[in-house]
Amino acid sequence: MKQEIGKKRIIIAIDGPAASGKSTTARKVAERLGYTYIDTGAMYRSVALKALDQGVLGGLRNSPEGVSALLQDISIRFDGDRIFLDGSDVTAGIRENRVSREVSFISSLKPVRDRLRVMQQDLGRQRGVVMDGRDIGTVVFPDAELKIFLVADARKRAERRYAELVAKSPEGVDLPDLDLLEEEIMRRDRDDAEREHAPLKKHAEAYEIDTSDLTIERQVDIVYHLALEKEVKGQ
C-alpha cells in the first residue's frame, strides 16, 4: 500500500556500486512512499546503448569530445517501469551485457554527466522522489534530505547480476560466467571510483548499509523508516 510521509515531501538519494541493490530498493521505497522513482543508471545506460547502436563508441575512446553530437537532441523519458530513448522503448536493451561493459566509460565523460545531471535535477525539482545512481548524494542532489550509500560483497553482487540475467534472458542465450561477472563488477568499481568527473564515493552525511546478507524487504524497511524520521525532522 502506498503511504504518504507527511506534508513535506523529500528527496532520497541512494548511491552505491553496481548490483548493490540500489535500483530495486529505490523502486520499492518509492512505491511504498507514493514517490516518483528515477533510475539515473538507466539514463547512462541509454547513452551507452545509443553510442553502441550508432557505432561511434570506438571513436569516442579516441576523441571523447565527439560525444556532444551524440547528446544533441537526445530524449530520455520514464513511463512507469519503462524507459524510452528518443521515442523508442529500450527497457530491455539497456540491460544487455554489452551495455554493462561500456556504461562506466560513457559515465566518465564530463559532457554526458553535465547533460544528464541537468535532466536529473529537473526531474527531482518538485521533490517527492527517490533517485539512485553513483553521484546523486554528492553531485546531483547534495542537499537531499536523506542520503543512502549501499555496499555489498563483490561475489554476492555477481550472483545477483547473474540471477537477473537468467530471469531476463531468452532461452538458449549464452550467459557470461559467474567469475567473469565478478571481474567485470570489480573493474567497474575501480573505474567508477577513479574517474575524474563525479567519482563514486560516499557523502559524509550518508547512511551506509551493507546489503550482502540482507533481503530486499529488509533493505526497503531500513530506508523507509529513515525517510519517515527525516520527514518528521523537516516539518
The CATH number for 92's domain is: 3.40.50.300
**Distance separating alpha carbons of residues 219 and 184, to the nearest angstrom:** 25
- Residue 219 included in any domain: no
- pLDDT score for 6: 46
Cβ atoms within 10 Å, residue 91:
16
Instruction: Name the residue range of residue 140's domain.
Output: 11-214
Please list the residues that pair with 37 across neighbouring strands: 130
Query: Strand, coil or helix: what is 220?
Result: helix
**Distance separating alpha carbons of residues 30 and 223, to the nearest angstrom:** 10
- Residue 113 included in any domain: yes
- Residue 157 included in any domain: yes
- Residue 3 included in any domain: no
Residue tagged 554476492 (cell numbers) = 156
- Residue 1 included in any domain: no
pTM of the model: 0.84
Q: Residues in the chain with pLDDT < 50?
A: 1-6
Model confidence over 156-174: pLDDT tens digits?
A: 999 998 988 888 777 767 7
Number of independent structural domains in the chain: 1
Alpha carbon distance, N-terminus to C-terminus of the chain:
23
- Residue 114 included in any domain: yes
- pLDDT score for 132: 95
Ordered alpha helix ranges (H), the chain: 22-33, 40-53, 57-62, 67-71, 97-107, 110-124, 154-168, 178-194, 216-234
**Distance separating alpha carbons of residues 95 and 122, to the nearest angstrom:** 25
- Residue 126 included in any domain: yes
In sequence order, the 6+-apart residues with CB closer than 8 A to the CB of 220 are 25, 28, 29, 32
- Residue 171 included in any domain: yes
